């Protein structure tokens, strides 16, 4: 079964708690604090699996939770850091934020590196960190930070240089089987192809390109008719389209009308996609009946639209080498494959969380609390200028400043957010 769009929940591990402990040994009755730190929680890491081309593994498993870090112990023994949770996905998978639909990351073969989607919580400090000249017996330690969590959409957009498009039963699968090692299911009836098929086409020596056979499109595909609508996303990355038509008109369809209809559906789905270069592949030339098809009119139509034309037969192999050579030559001159840029910004995870914010006032100090803020503080380095700016942007976008002003906070008053204090400036 081919699965190319799933929703999942991921959560990185929480950091372990720091320990409250004191040094004890023979003849030492009142040793100093020696509580160990908690271990860091495991990250959620996505990894490209080049041997996979479907999201079927996520059909029944939707929750992925990394392990928590171990708690610290006495004797300055730190808790163990948890292992990362590795989630394997096919190349070309887009990771989106479920709430906003924005792209977080594009998992492509060109990327190469793993992608850390959610960071594990930092381990809390043991009580030895809080010992001072005036506080020699700290009876407290710091709790571990919670790991990040997200609701995601995984959307597969196959990585193919060339896409074979066209009506059902025009011979796309047969062509792919002849020009590559792919073995798609082939039969003489509509919708034989129920999922996209990939094949590597060799052009000599070590060069070549990847071609995708996209299930047949029909009129209304952009609105969801037929099978093509579900797989239109898989031609989004294709740099070149091989538009296959049945030149024999065995089903009494006009090849010109077929081309017009398919391109109309492509344009409705994505004008940018419809503008991609095309080679018109007139298949089944071995069964051509010139009484049914006006070849001169057909060739004139293709020429007027600026497309290249090649006659082929998937049965006999006629014209396939010419088609491959033309495609390879055009690919050399076309821009590289589309890689989607990230649209999702880290602060988006916190914006809108103000309804979970509690503000209490003690004299001229305002204490701001909330689970989302607790998690946010754990991700911020307050000694770093850019990290501090990030923190302030989140507070502004999530409405914390407005809530403070509504509670009576004015310039010069102190705001405390989990041990981080600053003077409020409007």
Query: What is the DSSP code string of 342-374?
Result: P---GGGGTTTGGGG-EEEEETTEEEEE-HHHH
Helices (H), 31-106: none
**What does the pLDDT average to over 87-105?**
91
Tokens representing residue 30 in the block: 């009142």
Lowest mean pLDDT among 147-151, 174-178, 220-224: 220-224
**What does the pLDDT average to over 53-66?**
89
**Contact of 94 with 155, CB cutoff 8 Å:** yes
Q: Specify the pLDDT at position 388.
A: 86
Tokens representing residue 49 in the block: 């699996």
Q: The tokens 């590559």 sit on which residue?
A: 180
Q: Specify the pLDDT at position 336.
A: 86
Higher pLDDT, 188 or 270: 270
Q: How far is CA 391 from CA 102, 383, 397, in A?
A: 21, 12, 10
Return the closest-CA partner of residue 273 out of 163, 387, 388, 419: 163
**What does the pLDDT average to over 183-210?**
64
Q: Specify the pLDDT at position 178.
A: 87
pLDDT bin (cut points 50, 70, 90) of residue 186 is very low
Lowest mean pLDDT among 18-22, 118-122, 166-170: 166-170
Binning the chain into helix, strand and coil, the percentages to the nearest 5 are: 25, 25, 50
Mean pLDDT of all residues belonging to the chain: 84
Return the closest-CA partner of residue 151 out of 229, 112, 96, 102: 96
Q: Specify the pLDDT at position 111.
A: 58
Q: Which residues pair with 44 in a beta bridge?
A: 85, 118
Kindly tell me if the per-residue pLDDT of 182 is higher than 60: no
Rounded CA-CA distance 134/345 in Å is 43
Q: Specify the pLDDT at position 353.
A: 65
**What does the pLDDT average to over 297-312?**
94
Q: Specify the pLDDT at position 226.
A: 45
Burial readout 176-189 (b: 16 or more C-beta within 10 A, e: otherwise): bbbbbebebeeeee
Q: Specify the pLDDT at position 221.
A: 44
Polymer length of the chain: 426
Q: Specify the pLDDT at position 222.
A: 45
Q: Specify the pLDDT at position 169.
A: 81
Return the closest-CA partner of residue 320 out of 282, 277, 276, 278: 282
* The three-state (H, E, C) secondary structure of 306-346, written as one string: CCEEEECCCCCCCCHHHHHHHHHHHHHHCCCCCCCCCCCCH
Degrees to nearest 5, angle at CA 10 with 9 and 14? 135
**What does the pLDDT average to over 21-34?**
82
Higher pLDDT, 85 or 49: 85
Overall pTM surpassing 0.85 (yes/no): no
pLDDT in tens, 318-360: 999 999 999 999 999 998 888 888 888 777 777 766 668 899 8
In terms of Cβ atoms closer than 10 Å to its own Cβ (0-12, 13-18, 19+), residue 332 is exposed
pLDDT bin (cut points 50, 70, 90) of residue 217 is low
**Contact of 147 with 118, CB cutoff 8 Å:** yes
Degrees to nearest 5, angle at CA 35 with 82 and 388? 65
Kindly tell me if the per-residue pLDDT of 105 is higher than 80: yes
Rounded CA-CA distance 351/342 in Å is 18
DSSP-derived 3-state class of residue 406: helix
pLDDT in tens, 240-286: 999 999 998 877 788 999 999 889 888 887 888 888 999 999 999 98
Higher pLDDT, 184 or 8: 8
Rounded CA-CA distance 191/54 in Å is 19
Q: Specify the pLDDT at position 247.
A: 92
């Amino acid at each position: 079964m081919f699965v190319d769009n799933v929703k999942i929940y991921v959560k990185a591990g929480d950091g372990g708690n720091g320990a409250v402990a004191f040094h004890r040994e023979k003849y030492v009755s009142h040793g100093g604090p020696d509580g160990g730190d908690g271990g860091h929680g495991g990250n959620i890491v996505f990894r490209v699996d080049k041997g996979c081309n479907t999201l079927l593994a996520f059909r029944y498993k939707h929750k992925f939770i990394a392990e928590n870090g171990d708690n610290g112990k006495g004797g300055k023994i730190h808790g163990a850091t948890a292992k990362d949770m590795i989630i394997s996905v096919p190349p070309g998978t887009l990771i989106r934020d479920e709430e906003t639909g924005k792209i977080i990351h594009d998992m492509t073969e060109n990327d190469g590196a793993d992608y850390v989607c959610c960071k594990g919580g930092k381990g809390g400090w043991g009580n030895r960190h809080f010992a001072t000249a005036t506080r020699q017996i700290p009876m407290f330690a710091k709790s571990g930070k919670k790991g990040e969590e997200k609701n995601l959409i995984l959307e597969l957009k196959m990585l193919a240089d060339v896409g074979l498009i066209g009506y059902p039963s025009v011979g796309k699968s047969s062509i792919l089987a002849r020009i590559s090692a792919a073995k798609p299911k082939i039969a003489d009836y509509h919708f034989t192809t129920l999922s996209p098929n990939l094949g590597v086409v060799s052009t000599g020596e070590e060069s070549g390109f990847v071609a995708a056979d996209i299930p047949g499109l029909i009129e209304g595909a952009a609105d969801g008719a037929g099978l093509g609508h579900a797989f239109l996303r898989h031609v989004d990355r294709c740099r070149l389209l091989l538009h296959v038509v049945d030149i024999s008109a065995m089903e009494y369809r006009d090849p010109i009308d077929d081309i017009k209809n398919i391109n109309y559906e492509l344009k409705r789905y994505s004008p940018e996609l419809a503008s991609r270069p095309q080679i018109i592949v007139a298949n089944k030339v071995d069964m051509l009946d010139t009484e049914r098809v006006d070849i001169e009119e057909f060739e004139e139509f293709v020429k007027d639209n600026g497309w290249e034309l090649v006659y082929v037969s998937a049965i006999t192999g006629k014209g396939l080498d010419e088609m491959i050579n033309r495609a390879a030559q055009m690919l050399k001159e076309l821009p590289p494959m589309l890689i989607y840029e990230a649209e999702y910004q880290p602060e988006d995870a916190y914006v809108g969380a103000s309804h979970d914010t509690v503000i209490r006032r003690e004299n001229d100090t305002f204490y701001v609390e909330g689970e989302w803020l607790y998690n946010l503080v754990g991700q911020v380095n307050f000694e770093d200028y850019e990290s501090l700016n990030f923190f302030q942007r989140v507070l502004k976008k999530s409405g914390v400043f407005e809530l403070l002003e509504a509670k009576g906070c004015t310039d010069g008053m102190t705001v405390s957010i989990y041990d981080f204090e600053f003077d409020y400036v409007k």
